[in-house]
Structure 1
Amino acid sequence: MSVPVVLPHGYPQSWYEWKHVMPALAKNYTVIAPDLRGFGDSSRPLTGYDGNTTTEDIYQLVSQLGFSNIFLVAYDVGAQTAYSYAATPPSNVSKLVFMDFPFPGFIPPEFGENGAWWFGFYQTHDVPELLIEGKEREYLSCFIKGLEYNPYAITEEDIDAFVSHAVAPGGLLSQFEHFRAFPVDAEQNKESAKNKITMPVLVLGGDIYPALGGDFPGNFALASTQALAANATGITVPPSGHWISEEQPEFVIEQLAKFFNH
């Protein structure tokens, strides 16, 4: 049985964000691409969106599938779940990849005290739902385009897929709850950072973010990760915005292969 590669996705996506990467990985690994709770076709509970809780979802999935050693590749808010998973003993993660996510509790100063604008917006209870409901497609299209470098990487069909989950009952609420858990995540991260994770960690980050001024520092997440991981190295994905696996899938596949085989 080949080593499994588990792929937690980011916001506002689902397993579908990995569609360009999965076929290449599947040639050598068992690929597991779950929908995180609150996203895609997964359930939408009212609570339990902090990393320590969402970690249990992934642990149970991996355990039920019969795996004991995994590679973990996580993007955006999925990286919080992945970090909490790797930091919870006994960890069965042998290699770990984070993509474009500043960890709560260790957000780089370039973001300001509370992170990117949507962090605070989504953490405001009820207001985002009231403003976005009924305009999910318009909002998500604008949000995605504001963080992309390649305007052709995410298609209208891709946006349709993400919108279909946002408009489901409780869809917006459950997705925003991941951001509303950031204060809890920050406290959990600060505590677990006292004992840094020791497995090899690769951090992939984009270098062009129009919605953040266009010249935002490339791979801003590396310093944040190094506060949590003793063996973290970073690679900037050129040229790419936030949607790395969709904008530069071949580069991502190449870097994952090198990292896994090193």
Structure 2
Amino acid sequence: MTSDVSGTRTARPDPSDMPEVPGVRHRFVEAGGVRLHVAEAGAGEPVVLLHGFPQHWYGWRRIIPQLAEHHRLICLDLRGFGWSDAPARGYDTATRVADVLAAMDALGVPRARLIAHEFGAWTGFMACLAAPERFSHFLALNIVHPWPLHRRMLPQAWRYWYTTPLELPFSGRTVLRRFPGFTRFLLRRGVVDRDAWEPAAMEEFVRSSAEPDRARAAEAMHRQYAVRDIGGLVRGTYRRLHLAVPTVILAGEKDFVLPPSVMTDPGARADDLRIEVVPGCGHFVHEERPELVVRTALELFARV
């Protein structure tokens, strides 16, 4: 057990329960007063990888063997997920950004390439906007950039129905803990090819999401995103921000959350942002098309 800054006791998952990926090394770093778990592999120029919901570092298991041949991979478990601490507070995007930068500092990484999925990719956008000197390139998976057209987004708002029970106080944690079928549904619904999921991998993410502290953290993250980030999009908070980091978004053609129609040109708000739609693919591009993700990453990283 450990205590967060508010004095709340939180249970740390047993590191011996981690799934195995050949060549992966595990360590923990202190970042902003929180102990974060890092899975590392390979050597060379560093690449930070940030997972989405309801995954953790193991979501990159298909990417790691291929990309580790070229780079040092730093797969971070975000606060409240995987084997990182789950304090009572700190599930807003700004705190996640601070966690990522603090973890890079603790690892001695002044600058890195970045690959991220969904919630992790939204964190990645905010990190690149807040600290562009820390990131040379950014590959974002299944996320919209911070400057969508409202007339494109609003008709698609119904697609976020599943987040409502996750955002409500005590409801989100209850759903994740007591109704594992809900998490399985989201994972299955998130791919076009149902065979993309190995049963053991799916059950790992279901199991992890059902842990009391992980479920509470997921609830808090969804609520903070709904209140702060979606509110910021509606108010146009991000319009004055400019993206200088070369970025590629891979969007699934059949993503049940973010269809290609919402992936609009950001215009002058980004120096170099390219959007690529992946045919016949859903909300977990890295699960269905890992080779494409690796190839796209290497092509992006090679650009000056």
Paired residues of 2:168 and 2:219 also in contact (CA < 8 A): no
For 2:231 and 2:147, locate their aligned partners in 1 and report how far apart those are by CA, in whole Å: 7
- Amino acid paired to 1:19: R
In the TM superposition, 1:215-230 aligns within 5 A as 217-218=259-260, 220=261, 222-223=263-264, 229-230=270-271
For 1:78 and 1:86, locate their aligned partners in 2 and report how far apart those are by CA, in whole Å: 12
Could you tell me how far 1:33 is from its partner in structure 2? Answer: 0.4
Matched, 1:145 2:191: no
In the TM superposition, 1:150-189 aligns within 5 A as 150-182=193-225, 183-186=227-230
User: % of aligned pairs identical?
Assistant: 24
Aligned position for 2:107: 65
Aligned residue among 88, 91, 99 for 2:133 = 91
Aligned position for 1:130: 174
Aligned position for 2:282: 241
> TM-score scaled to structure 2, two decimals?
0.76
- Amino acid paired to 1:72: L
For 1:226 and 1:35, locate their aligned partners in 2 and report how far apart those are by CA, in whole Å: 33
Could you tell me how far 1:35 is from its partner in structure 2? Answer: 0.6
- Amino acid paired to 1:237: V
- Which consecutive residues of structure 1, in runs of 5 or more, have no partner in the other structure? none
Aligned position for 1:3: 45
Could you tell me how far 1:192 is from its partner in structure 2? Answer: 4.3
- Amino acid paired to 1:203: I
Aligned residue among 225, 242, 248 for 1:202 = 248
Question: In the comparison of the two structures, how many residue pairs are matched?
Answer: 255
Aligned residue among 97, 104, 109 for 2:154 = 109
Once the two structures are overlaid, the 10-residue window that deviates more, 196-205 or 159-168, is 159-168
Aligned position for 2:87: 45
Aligned position for 1:14: 56
Q: CA RMSD in A?
A: 2.4
Aligned position for 1:34: 76
For 1:14 and 1:221, locate their aligned partners in 2 and report how far apart those are by CA, in whole Å: 26
Could you tell me how far 1:239 is from its partner in structure 2? Answer: 1.9
Could you tell me how far 1:261 is from its partner in structure 2? Answer: 1.0
For 2:296 and 2:90, locate their aligned partners in 1 and report how far apart those are by CA, in whole Å: 33
Q: With a CA cutoff of 8 Å and minimum separation of 6, indicate the structure with the bigger relative contact order.
A: 1
Could you tell me how far 1:115 is from its partner in structure 2? Answer: 5.8
Paired residues of 2:62 and 2:286 also in contact (CA < 8 A): yes
- Which consecutive residues of structure 2, in runs of 5 or more, have no partner in the other structure? 1-42
For 2:166 and 2:248, locate their aligned partners in 1 and report how far apart those are by CA, in whole Å: 28
Paired residues of 1:103 and 1:186 also in contact (CA < 8 A): no
Distance 1:73 1:131, change over 3 A: closer
Paired residues of 2:165 and 2:175 also in contact (CA < 8 A): no
Could you tell me how far 1:193 is from its partner in structure 2? Answer: 3.5
Paired residues of 2:147 and 2:266 also in contact (CA < 8 A): no
